[in-house]
Structure 1
Amino acid sequence: MKDAPLAPQADGDEPELKRSLSNRHIQLIAIGGAIGTGLFMGSGKTISLAGPSIIFVYMIIGFMLFFVMRAMGELLLSNLNYKSFIDFSTDLLGPMAGYFTGWTYWFCWIVTGIADVIAISGYTQFWFPDIPLWMPAIGCVAVLLSLNLLTVKMFGELEFWFAMIKIIAICGLVCTGLYMVVTSFQSPTGNTASLTNLWNDGGMFPHGLMGFFAGFQIAVFAFVGIELVGTTAAETKNPERNLPRAINSIPLRIIMFYVFALIAILAVTPWRDVVANKSPFVELFMLAGLPAAAAIINFVVLTSAASSANSGVFSTSRMLFGLAVEGDAPRKFMHLSKQAVPSNGLIFSCICLLAGALVIYLVPNLMEAFTLITTVSATLFMFVWTMILLSYLAYRKKSAHLHRASNYKMPGGKVMVWVCLGFFVFILALLALENDTRQALYMVPVWFAVLGLAYRSVLRNKSRVKQAE
């Protein structure tokens, strides 16, 4: 049965988002969220740091985040009035928790989106080296805003095709690597493609435990956005069926798109030959005799960055909508267009993304700032994941009857929540070890201090509104 169109917004009526995203959209949005640009561009650095043990790093991070997603899934399905994790964190942990979660998630995606816009400008120079860097940045934001303003379904279609490009590229790499191993391909340097390359040069842990731990610092950034499927809950057709399907397929996706890809790279190119500042995807295709590899992978990485920016535009506008409904953001962000799109939130978020173009214009050398931006983003994403887990603990305490009645219980329950929380503390400790990531950790408390001051103002406004009523 088709969804009914959005009802006119009469005075006093609360606007509602339409359930326009199908199972096809949700599955590919979940895949797109699980495959970050970090896999294409950051895997070279992680391999050089951790060697073949990087395979275990990605598996462990994916394993932990699967339980975060299962906790989120049980919470969203326990009450279909929950539209996103703002709603259940507000309900279960209190208004302040909802406020901090919503605005932090908004800021996460704005920061990530700025980084993506900067990256897109850099990738565009591959084909158009003479145009100013700020031009593709503005063009990207304008295109994403225009398409997202049309319909919610347009976002789903964009993510569907962006994710398809990533999937095809990874499947192409895995199949190429498998063929080279089977045929015992020899590289110009004399290396033979073989699975023994995974362990015959210093073993699986050539840099010991410290090298293994160093891989976590960068690899965790590749999983940013995995929770995006939770922000689509309010606009998903048949969420009882489609959300569990998307979440349950996360382990299979991690194996297919991370583990197999890394095995293919390491089997063809011994880990010592992987260059930290180059994409191993490009190098493998070049070895296979595909001269267009650089252009193809540049296109794939560009679409991956555009996918991330598109996700940011979508999720930030929905967060602003949810915050406005709770009274934690200006009421103008509650406005929905005739297509049931939170247009004011979209426009405001895109204006913020244009800060990326401003950064490009003002700062000639962006790499240090880029690292700082992505580290701040990943640290704040871990805060959001932590709030999901704390909400789950509160749900088990306050609504034990809903947990007992749930058809989609989180495996491991409260025990796995504490294991995941301990893992996040471990990641933060690792981030504190390196100078560049440690600087980003110093910046995070500043954000929470600003939020705390803003929350006091919000409380005063709410108090005035109540007195006026």
Structure 2
Amino acid sequence: MSEKEHVQSYEKENLKRGLSSRHISMIAIGGSIGTGLFYGSSWAINMGGPAVLLTYLFVGIAIYFIMRALGEMAVEEPVSGSYISYSNRYIHRFVGFLTGWNALIFLIATSAAELNALGRYVQFWFPNIPIWVSALIVVLILFIINMIGVSFYGEAEYWFSLVKVVAIILMIIFGAFMIFFGIGNGGNPVGLGNLVNHGGFFSTGVSGFILSIVMVAFAFGGVENLGLAAGEAKDVKKTMPKAVNSVFWRILIFYVGAIFILVTIYPWNTVGSSGSPFVEIFTKMNIPAAASIMNFVVITAVLSAVNSSIFTNTRSFYSLSLAKNAPCFLSKVNKKNIPSNAVVLVFVSMLVGVIMNYFIPDSVFSLFASVTVFGLISAWSAILISHLKFRKIKIKNNEVDKLTYKMPFYPYGNYFGLFFMAVVIVCMGILPEMRMSLIVSAVWVALVFVAYKFYTKNAAEEDTNEGELNKVDYGA
């Protein structure tokens, strides 16, 4: 097969294109703005001090190049497998196998952690309800939503995401009033002093600034899910570029804006010391039931993240099956063009998370929170490397001018993004609490490689046997 044929021969899918630009934008936002911002931001601020603002900008630039690389490929080859499909096609089949099956272990990990967090938020109102009960109810509801139809899923995700987006915008607005006009602070403007008054802007030193990149990077995790919606997007050449551009700027503004408000209103070393800093701001504004409102917002954020996870992982397994890197029954679609068997697999995987929350509810979140790290780095790196090969083929075939949504600063943007990945991995090796995830990831890769060799060997034998059988039938 020539390189030109190679770039044009992507899998033929049988999915319904029922997602509008409005849906797609919120899918990416829903997957990337969650508990990491509402509660995890305190860790990043305490690690990097006020200079964490620069960290968010630095990571934002890397994310921009990742998203543009993904957007270019998604517009030209709109498949639901996204970076999994591109990895299989442009890097190596094992990379596609690895990034795809990463979905299973990290689906269990992230859903267990998110469902654990959700159960704890529910206990804020109903302390006698066990965590696993809340988790099971949510999984059942979201399973039904995802089986009804892709447009229904998109609508649910839109409204889930909208709640937290509105909450962040209000927090930024109220915080700005407090900083510059003193509203909520007795009429005394807070000013910008907290950015430099407590040890300086780089209050934790250069090392703290650099190490904070780990948590900041993970806060952006989920933006890559935008590509997984390409296979079901309406008018992909218009909706995908619009979604990529809008999602990047919205997320960057939300994160940088929210963190700026937090480190300006509070001394950086006190942020989150008395609970969620977001709740503290709404409380200062004398908003009734501020804690309950934010608890509802965070529960909605978790619902959005889990809902997005069901959709994206379903499409991951579907794509793996089409590429013959997973059992063929996972590519079966029902009358509504939903890969129903893949949805069931995701549902069963999430039930594992529910069971773990039944047996070890106090350990689940910390046990799995760091395990998702490797999947994120793998996905982002795969996008950048796949795009390098994708564009190289386009250049060789003199097809670059036909690209309708080009990634800027190629290939330097790719190299910058890969440099960013290397920095994250080095920082993870330095941080004691992150070191274990690297060891677990190495073991996981070894296990997947063994499974890959076994699976591809058996698949090759089946193809050979099928070919021999066809020859016999033809001769008869």
The question of a shared fold, defined as TM-score above 0.5 by the shorter chain, is answered with yes
- 2:389 aligned with 1:391: no
Unaligned stretches of 5+ residues in structure 2: 1-10, 467-476
- CA drift of 1:332 comes to 1.2
- CA drift of 1:83 comes to 4.9
C-alpha separation in 2, matches of 1:396 and 1:46: 35
> Is the contact made by 2:182 and 2:188 (CA closer than 8 Å) also made in structure 1?
no
Label 1:351 to 1:296 Cα distance change in 2 as closer, same or farther (>3 A): same
C-alpha separation in 2, matches of 1:62 and 1:305: 23
Match of 1:426 in 2: 423
Match of 2:322 in 1: 325
Could you tell me which of 347, 350, 374 is aligned with 2:347?
A: 350
Amino acid in structure 2 at the alignment position of 1:452: F
Amino acid in structure 2 at the alignment position of 1:261: A
C-alpha separation in 2, matches of 1:82 and 1:31: 18
C-alpha separation in 1, matches of 2:32 and 2:54: 16
C-alpha separation in 2, matches of 1:93 and 1:266: 42
What's the TM-score once normalised by structure 1's chain length?
Answer: 0.92
Match of 1:341 in 2: 338
Could you tell me which of 308, 313, 322 is aligned with 1:311?
A: 308
Could you tell me which of 107, 110, 120 is aligned with 2:108?
A: 110
C-alpha separation in 2, matches of 1:184 and 1:310: 39
Match of 2:474 in 1: none
Match of 1:94 in 2: 92
- CA drift of 1:207 comes to 1.1
C-alpha separation in 2, matches of 1:262 and 1:357: 32
- 2:369 aligned with 1:374: yes
Could you tell me which of 406, 409, 414 is aligned with 2:406?
A: 409
Match of 1:457 in 2: 454
Match of 2:260 in 1: 263
What's the TM-score once normalised by structure 2's chain length?
Answer: 0.91
Percent of pairs identical after alignment?
35
SS in 1 for 2:124: coil
- CA drift of 1:304 comes to 0.9
C-alpha separation in 2, matches of 1:364 and 1:90: 37
C-alpha separation in 2, matches of 1:318 and 1:277: 40
Match of 1:275 in 2: 272
C-alpha separation in 2, matches of 1:385 and 1:38: 18
Q: 1:13-92 alignment to 2 at 5 Å?
A: 16-80=14-78, 83-92=81-90
C-alpha separation in 2, matches of 1:312 and 1:15: 20
Could you tell me which of 356, 359, 363 is aligned with 2:356?
A: 359
- CA drift of 1:72 comes to 0.9
C-alpha separation in 2, matches of 1:58 and 1:209: 15
> Is the contact made by 1:22 and 1:237 (CA closer than 8 Å) also made in structure 2?
yes
C-alpha separation in 2, matches of 1:207 and 1:418: 28
C-alpha separation in 2, matches of 1:323 and 1:252: 31
- 2:457 aligned with 1:435: no
C-alpha separation in 2, matches of 1:14 and 1:257: 37
SS in 2 for 1:125: helix
C-alpha separation in 1, matches of 2:244 and 2:233: 13
Could you tell me which of 124, 129, 132 is aligned with 2:130?
A: 132
Could you tell me which of 179, 189, 195 is aligned with 2:177?
A: 179
> Is the contact made by 1:17 and 1:234 (CA closer than 8 Å) also made in structure 2?
yes
C-alpha deviations, 1:79-102, integer Å up to 9, x for none? 346752222222212322221221
C-alpha separation in 2, matches of 1:197 and 1:254: 24
Unaligned stretches of 5+ residues in structure 1: 1-12
State the 4+ residue runs in structure 1 displaced beyond 6 angstroms. Answer: none
> Is the contact made by 1:221 and 1:375 (CA closer than 8 Å) also made in structure 2?
no
- What is the number of equivalent residue pairs in this alignment? 454
SS in 1 for 2:17: coil
C-alpha deviations, 1:351-403, integer Å up to 9, x for none? 1111222222211422xx42341222022211111011111111122331333
